[in-house]
Amino acid sequence: MEFPAVAVERAMTYQQVIMRVLAGTWSWLKAADVLGIHPRSLRRWRARYERDPVLGLLDRRRRRPSHRTAPRAEVQRVLQLYRTRYPDFNVRHFLHVARRDHGVTLSYTFVKLALQDAGLVPKGRARGRHRRRRAARACFGELLHLDGSDHGWLAHCPGQRQTLLAVVDDATKRLLYAQLWPEETTHAVLAALHAVLAGFGLPMALYTDRAGWAFHTPTAGGRVDRTHLTVVGRILARLGIDHIPSYSPQARGRIERLNRTLQGRLVNELRVAGITTLEAANTYLRAQFIPDYNAQFTRPAADPASAFVPLGAAVALDQLLADDGERLVGRDNVVSFDGVALQLAKQPGRRSCAGLHVRVWRHLSGEHTVWRGPQCLGHYDAQGRPLEGPRPRRPKPLQGRPRPRPASRPTNARAHLASEGPRTRGPLSPHPLNQVSSPRRRLGPRLPVGPEE
């Protein structure tokens, strides 16, 4: 009979301890304490040793296979499946796909240990010092995380890198938006905000890093400049959304963990699906990946109430998410905006527009409009060519969130004086200053009064 090396070492340890007790060096209580067993169990081991000094201390249970042992054929099938079809998947993602598509019923821990023993998955490094995670917000839409991840998302296009813009909710971990872009630009961020606002409404706050499109940082690694806003900063301030900057990768741990999860899952799924273009990848994201991700990772919020403020159908998001700036019209009635020359036509009732201070809007669609107060002076395309048709109307500013007022608190802070009546001081008559009287209406100007002549 062959026993494992662990069983042989354990039997040798028991033998050395029992020999010291029989030699009178140790007591039986000390021996039981050294072995970490009860003295009654040690007496049983002594009896087995006296009956058979050679094999008495070997644990014969290790020769029996466990009734919970996984079938060898099933383990070989899982290893072969990972080796041939899913070589770059992480263990949890691989097990999810294997259960969904191949009927695997093994547990996560068993599959992970089997893949590590086979050398197909490396063992993770030990974690660092203990940290406390920030508690998630209570309501859905109370805080959103937005970040871009530059990575080689298309495995069939080696050498090419794309940027995945993702928006996730802090309370529910729900992935609200994800799309691949060539670069992380202001236009891409505004498109992401447009999709979130149109689908869910106005959130309370947005948490981002200190990228160039998000904040102006005068000193590298320093505080952001709240007085010098970027295009996105002005739009968020106009919409009443708090913009919170992040000063370290650890501070935005939720979006960083999301990016790591997406890099481990989306790249492999796009590779298995054979996708090679951004259009096909974005279609796969919207139709397959985002619903599957939300069904697996979304959790209920602590507060079932939603913090999103819904937008009506009359709200023009294309105009609200527009880049704007003040300009001075030149003598040739041309105003420039980011290198695009906009020729103003002759306006009715005005000989020339030269010298006017106007505001130029560049909309999300790429079109430009020039405004002077509520009057639209011109409508142009992305190249600055005039567009025919009716000129757009200027969007109305959004009203702030109405704060609920308690029912017991009156609108007028002094209304309780009229309801309570004059205040009295015990048995004495009411003080004249405490009496509430109707205000007198002044009929004319107050004239100076002097000594009579």
Q: What is the pLDDT of residues 39-68, one digit of tens each?
A: 888 888 888 888 887 777 776 665 555 566
Cα separation, 68 vs 77, in Å, equals 18
Taking the model in full, what pTM does it have?
Answer: 0.60
Closest CA to 264 of 108, 80, 96, 78: 96
Out of 3.30.70.580, 3.30.420.10, 3.40.50.1100, 3.30.70.100, the CATH code matching 144-297 is 3.30.420.10
Kindly report the average pLDDT of the chain as a whole number: 82
User: For the segment 160-169, what is each residue's pLDDT rounded down to a tens digit?
Assistant: 999 999 999 9
Cα separation, 297 vs 107, in Å, equals 18
Within 13 Å, how many C-alpha atoms sit on residue 11's CB side?
A: 18
| Residues above pLDDT 90, as percent of the chain | 38
Cα separation, 368 vs 324, in Å, equals 9
Q: Residue 451: is its pLDDT beyond 60?
A: no
Beta bridge partners, 169, equal: 144
Contact between 399 and 314 (Cβ < 8 Å):
no
Query: Which single residue is written with the structure tokens 């070589």?
Result: 87
Of the pLDDT bands very low, low, confident and very high (cuts 50, 70, 90), residue 77 is: very high
3-state helix, strand, coil in the chain (%, to 5): 35, 15, 50
Cα separation, 343 vs 334, in Å, equals 5
User: For the segment 355-412, what is each residue's pLDDT rounded down to a tens digit?
Assistant: 889 989 888 888 888 988 888 888 898 888 898 876 666 665 555 444 444 444 444 5
What torsion do the CA atoms of 140, 143, 149, 154 make, to the nearest 10 degrees? 10
Closest CA to 272 of 422, 82, 35, 420: 82
309: burial class by Cβ within 10 Å (0-12, 13-18, 19+)?
A: buried
Higher pLDDT, 18 or 453: 18
Of the pLDDT bands very low, low, confident and very high (cuts 50, 70, 90), residue 293 is: very high
| Residues above pLDDT 70, as percent of the chain | 81
Cα separation, 205 vs 215, in Å, equals 15
Q: What is the pLDDT of residue 373?
A: 85
Domains of the chain: which residue ranges? 5-63, 72-117, 144-297, 317-380
* Averaged pLDDT, 156-180: 93
Mention every residue, 6+ apart, whose C-beta is less than 8 A from residue 420. none
Q: Residue 427: is its pLDDT beyond 50?
A: no
Q: Residue 442: is its pLDDT beyond 60?
A: no
Q: What is the pLDDT of residue 244?
A: 93
User: For the segment 103-148, what is each residue's pLDDT rounded down to a tens digit?
Assistant: 999 999 999 999 998 889 998 776 666 667 778 899 999 999 999 9
Q: What is the pLDDT of residue 398?
A: 58
Cα separation, 397 vs 437, in Å, equals 41
Contact between 424 and 430 (Cβ < 8 Å):
yes
